[in-house]
Structures are given as structure tokens and as C-alpha cells.
Chain A
Amino acid sequence: MNSSSINWTALGVFIFFFALVTVMGFWASRWQSGGSANKGAHLDEWGLGGRNFGTWITWFLVGGDFYTAYTVIAVPALVYAVGAYGFFALPYTILVYPIVFLIMPKLWHAAHKAGHVTAADVVFGRYKSRKLELAIALTGVVATMPYIALQLIGMEVVIKALGVTGELPLLAAFVILALYTYSAGLRAPALIAFVKDLMIYIVVLVAVVLVPMKLGGYGVVFASAHDAFAAKGGMTGLTLKPAQFLPFATLALGSAMAAFMYPHTLTGIFAAKSADTIRKNAVFLPAYTVLLGLIALLGYMAYAAGVKVEANNDIVPALFNAMFPSWFSGFAFAAIAIGALVPAAVMSIGAANLFTRNFWKPYVNPNVSAEGEAKVAKIVSLVVKFGALVFILFLPTKFALDLQLLGGVWILQTFPALVFGLFIGWFGANALLSGWAVGIIGGSWLAYADGIKPVHTFHIGADSYTMYTGLIALAINIVVAVAVQLVFGKGGAKTPALKH
């Protein structure tokens, strides 16, 4: 493979599909806009697609939004690098669904009844605390920014694999994305998600059948990976070392709890037509998890195919370039790049909704009309995307990765404030705010002291326990919230039980 020259066939296929979704993106503003009560300019329209997405649209949207392009690049890269340990993505994306099933229909009811658009809206509605609302909104926006930047990295990797150099293509792709998100709102990624998901399904199903067939079967794939890890010294392998058990399990659980605290995943929930839509999706969304597990195995196939790369993130594009004709590589890279557009759009919409509802409305213009809200959110979505682009173009990639990792720790700290109130009325706003603050500071400090690593090791006597830092911070968060509630929470600070 000569990566310095442009692969014209692949590029042609890539541009065709990119152009197709661009047209769809602009057309999307007219799609599914019939049945809503708030026709025209309203944040519910632009920011939540009219709150009218049924089971199918939600399935494609949340699937396209949660399993991001970066996942397709980074999960196989991690599995390629560290073996079984990188496979925590599978239990993570399985366990997320019982959690979604139990929590998200309740959250939907709370949001639907009061017309809430964001997580911070729900928290304010529940606790009537502007401080707690701001804490949740700020965490959401800050955790989302590096996540958008990561999608750009995913797009950068495939553009590079097409043999195209320079930053202009990325810039062009992003300007297009920004414009149709501005004009069509959540409907654009919802419509594009259909194309993206179908393309990714085709790419992955073809890859996981054809690649092992060419290489001699899955037995050979696993055996090559096994030998490669053994040759590297056997620190990692096809199964976990005992020291990896606890980090593996806590990363899976912590990530599963954090996944639907992000603005982009919650936007998919709030945009659903009914609680039943969400319950059905908890049953059917695991189909994407099968896909993710298969994608992860591409990391092992790279060993069997003898693919060598300088950066682990190039492993999937390099594997496709080595195994497939260039038209199919172009199709696969288009699938990944479009796979970056969907989450990037929903993330910027989620962040824009938070800014508008939980910062602009309470602090800048309390009398803002529904139409004014939509205007502000549209402009903010441009600013957010531009910020992510500047991030990628002018700062080292590692910075975005580190911040994304910290973002995961931070967003998990919003779990008690957002979720506990749906089930019990015992906690007051101050207790939850204290827990959040200590969780954010403690988690960041632990991660920083460890050199921005996702796991922290405790030494108790001769034993050591390594766990996901976000989960440790969440434990501290909850302990502090309980303690503050016990000490200061007597009397009126409790929150009335939720009824619907």
C-alpha cells in the first residue's frame, strides 16, 4: 500500500456517499415535521426533532449516535494494542441497556410532562436549584467538546487513508456538517443515521465474513493474535491477566453508567415519542453491540493479515486497504466519516440545548421566547463545532484524548443528581451539589496524579486494587451526598416524591 498517493477510486466512492448525505442533511428540515404541536421555530423542533421520533428512527439515531466513528477506529486499535483488556467495550455496551431500560423511560416522563429539553432542565425542575442546574449543564458541555473533537480525529484518520493530505478536506466536511445542522437541527443526523448505520452494517458484516475467510478462519485470526502478544512479552493476551479483572469490570460498569449521561445520548432519549419507544429500543439496540464486538475483532485480524501501522488508530483503514478492492475501502471510509457526522451533529445540538436552556435563559435573557431559544441554540451549535475544529487543528491530538477521558469521569458525576431524584426524594440539592463537586475534583485529581490514566491503583497492605477512576469518584460523590444530606438535610431540604 502506498499511502502517500491518492486512491482515486476510493476517493470517488467516498465523495459520492458524502455528497448523498449532504443533500439528505439539507432536505431533512422538511422531514417528519407534520405531527408536531410546535410547528415552525421552536427549540423542540430544532433541538429535539419535534419530540416525535418513533421506535425505528430512535433506533437508528441512538445507534448512530452512541456507536461513534471514533469507536470504529479506536476500539479495534485498543484491542490490537492490548488484547482482551480492550474488549471491555463489549460488556460496557451490553450492560448499558438494562440501565437504559430502568432509568430512561422515567427520565423521559419527567422531561415530557414539563417540556424539558436537557438533563439540567430535569434537574432544575426536580430540585429548583440554579446552582445544581448550572453544575449539570457545565459538566455536559465540557465533557461533550472533546468528544466532538474525537469524531474529527476519526474523520481525519480515514481521509488520510484515502491518500489525501492537508487539512482542507476536514475543514470542508465540517463546514457542510455545521450548515445542515444549523438549518435542519436534530432531523439532519436522524435522517443521515439511516444511511450511516446501513453502511456500517454492510461494511462490518462483509469484513467479518470475508477477512477471516481470506486469512484461514477465526481460529487462525485468534492464533496469530495470540502469537503476536506472546512475542511482545505476554503482558497482555487473548484472555485477561488477574490484575486486569477489576479494571476490566469497573471500566465496563462505569462506562455503562456514564454512557447515557452525555448530552448527545440524552438528546436521543428526549426526542423519543414515548417511554415505550425507549423501552423497545433497550431491547433492540443491543444489535449494535454485536456489531461493535465484531468491529473490535478487526484488531486481531490485523495480526493475521500482517498489517503494520505507525499509529494504532490507523489499524482499521490499513486493514481495509490491504484486504479489499479500493472501491470497497472507499465505501468503508465513507461509512466511518459519515459515522463521525451523526454523533458530531447530535453532540453539538445537545451542547447548544444546554447552553440555551440552562445558561442563556436563566442568566442572560429570562424572557426569551421559544423562537428566540431556537435562534440562540442554532448559533451556539456553530460555535461549539468551530471550537472542536480549532481544537483539532491547533492542539496536539493527545490533548483531546486526555480531555475525553477526563470527560468520562466528569459526566459520570452527574449520575446521582440526574438519576436519584427519579426514584427517591431523600436527597436535597445541596447534598447532590456537594457530591458532584467532590466527585469532579477528586476524580480529576486522581486521574491527573496518575498521568491521565483511566484507572487508579489503591495499595491496601500488600494488595493492590486497580479500578476505573470515574467509578471511584462516583463512590466518593455518593458518600459525600449521603453525608451532607444526613448532617444538613433535616427539614425542608428533601425533595417531594416524583409522580406521573
Chain B
Amino acid sequence: MRLLLLLPFIGLLWVPFYNDELPALFGFPFFYWYQFMWVPLTALIIWIVYKDGLRKGIE
């Protein structure tokens, strides 16, 4: 489960993958909305790992 926490690192540190202006969303070039998208996504991933930890009884 904790390996999920690697996803934001892969998604954000591999810069060539998102270094584009298109497709734009609500006027935001891809470079910007893609990075913004990772904020709730990262929070969600941490929450999933957190809930999993609770189930396993991590203090």
C-alpha cells in the first residue's frame, strides 16, 4: 500500500511528460492544470494509505 505514495513522485518529477501547453482546461495550459490535479490526487492517495494503516492497527 505504501508504494502508492511513490505515484506523486513519478507523476511530478518526470517533467517531460507534462511540459506542454495543450490540452488546455478552463484557460489553464496543461503544465498548470496537470500539476494542480496532483494536489487532490496526492491527498487522496495519502488518505487511502492512512485508512489502510488504521485497518492494520498502526499506532
**A102 adjacent to B2 (CB under 8 Å):** yes
Convert B21-54 into 0s and 1s, putting 1 for each residue whose CB lies closer than 8 angstroms to a CB of A: 1001011110110011011101101110110010
**B8 adjacent to A94 (CB under 8 Å):** yes
| Closest residue on chain B to residue A219 by CB atoms | B27
CA distance A101 to B43 in the complex (A): 11
CA distance A238 to B21 in the complex (A): 7
CA distance A143 to B17 in the complex (A): 34
Choose among A102, A221, A249, A286 the residue with the greatest number of B CB atoms under 10 Å from its CB. Answer: A286
**A245 adjacent to B19 (CB under 8 Å):** yes
Which bucket holds chain A's interface residue count?
A: 35 or more
CA distance A287 to B31 in the complex (A): 19
Q: Does A5 contact B (CB under 8 A)?
A: no
Q: Report the stretch among A10-18, A83-91, A149-157, A367-375 that lies at the interface.
A: A83-91
**B13 adjacent to A253 (CB under 8 Å):** yes
**B27 adjacent to A222 (CB under 8 Å):** yes
Q: Does A129 contact B (CB under 8 A)?
A: no
CA distance A97 to B45 in the complex (A): 11
The SS class assigned to the B binding surface is helix
Q: Does A282 contact B (CB under 8 A)?
A: yes
CA distance A212 to B27 in the complex (A): 10
CB distance from B50 to the nearest CB of A (A): 5
Q: Determine the chain B residues whose CB is within 8 A of the CB of A245 once the complex forms.
A: 15-16, 19
Contact of B13 among A91, A102, A217, A282 (CB under 8 A): A91
Which bucket holds chain B's interface residue count?
A: 20 to 34
Q: Determine the chain A residues whose CB is within 8 A of the CB of B32 once the complex forms.
A: 87, 222, 293, 297
Q: Determine the chain A residues whose CB is within 8 A of the CB of B45 once the complex forms.
A: 98
**A98 adjacent to B42 (CB under 8 Å):** yes
| Closest residue on chain A to residue B6 by CB atoms | A98
CA distance A275 to B57 in the complex (A): 13
| Closest residue on chain A to residue B40 by CB atoms | A286
Q: Does A284 contact B (CB under 8 A)?
A: yes
CB distance from A314 to the nearest CB of B (A): 24
**A98 adjacent to B46 (CB under 8 Å):** yes
Contact of B31 among A221, A239, A252 (CB under 8 A): A239
**B9 adjacent to A218 (CB under 8 Å):** no
Q: Does A279 contact B (CB under 8 A)?
A: yes
| Closest residue on chain B to residue A225 by CB atoms | B29
CA distance A262 to B29 in the complex (A): 34
**B31 adjacent to A293 (CB under 8 Å):** no
- Enumerate chain B interface residues (CB-CB to A < 8 A): 2, 5, 8-9, 12-16, 19-21, 24, 26-29, 31-32, 35-36, 38-40, 42-43, 45-47, 49-50, 53, 59
12 contacts between A and B (CB under 8 A): A87-B35, A94-B12, A94-B42, A98-B46, A102-B5, A220-B27, A221-B27, A222-B29, A238-B29, A280-B50, A283-B43, A293-B32
Instruction: In the A-B complex, list the 7 residue pairs whose CB atoms are closest, starting with the nearest.
Output: A218-B27, A219-B27, A91-B12, A98-B5, A245-B15, A286-B43, A249-B13
